[in-house]
Structure 1
Amino acid sequence: MPVEAVIYDIGNVLIEWQPERHYDKTIGEKRRREMFEAVDLHAMNDEIDRGAAFKERIYEEAEKHPSFRAEIRDWYDSWIEMASPAIPHSVKLLRTLRSKDVPVFALSNFGVDSFAYAETKYPFLGEFDRRYISGHMKRIKPEPEIYEMVEKDCGIDPAGLLFVDDRQDNIDMARARGWQAHLFEGPQGWADELVRQGLLNAEEASA
Structure 2
Amino acid sequence: MAQDSPQHVVFDIGRVLIHYDPHLAFRDIIPDDEERHFFLSEVCSHDWNLEQDRGRSWAEAEAEAIARHPDREEQIRAFRKHWHLMVPHAYDNSVAIMLGLIDAGVDVTMLTNFATDTFDEARERFAFLKRPRGVTVSGEVRQIKPDRAIYDIHVESFGLDPAKCLFIDDSEKNVEGARAAGWQAVHFVSPEELARALAERGLPVPLD
- 3-state DSSP of counterpart to 1:193: helix
Q: What pairs with 1:46-85 in structure 2 (closer than 5 Å)?
A: 46-54=50-58, 56-64=59-67, 65-85=69-89
Alpha-carbon RMSD: 1.7
Q: Equivalent residue for 1:161? A: 165
Question: Within 2, Cα distance between the matches of 1:171 and 1:63?
Answer: 34
- Which residue matches 1:152? 156
Cα pair 1:90 1:187 within 8 Å, conserved = yes
> How much does 1:159 deviate?
1.4
- 1:205: which partner in 2? 207
Give the AA of the match of 1:86.
A
Mapped to 2, the partners of 1:37 and 1:146 lie a distance apart of 26
Is 2:139 the counterpart of 1:135? Answer: yes
Alignment of 1:1-207 (within 5 A): 1-24=4-27, 26-28=29-31, 29-54=33-58, 56-64=59-67, 65-201=69-205, 204-206=206-208
Q: Any gaps of 5 or more consecutive residues in structure 1?
A: none
Q: Do the aligned partners of 2:10 and 2:108 also contact (CA within 8 Å) in 1?
A: yes
Unaligned runs of 5+ in 2: none
Q: After superposition, what is the alpha-carbon deviation per residue over 1:10-32, rounded to whole angstroms, capped at 9, x for unaligned? A: 00000111113443454231221
Please report how far the alpha carbon of residue 44 of structure 1 lies from its aligned counterpart in structure 2 after TM superposition. Answer: 2.2
Deviations along 1:82-127, one digit per CA (max 9) or x if unpaired, are 1222111011111111101111100000011111111111111111
Q: Deviations over 1:147-183 (max 9, x none)?
A: 1111222232211000000001110111122211100
Stretches (4+) displaced over 4 A: none
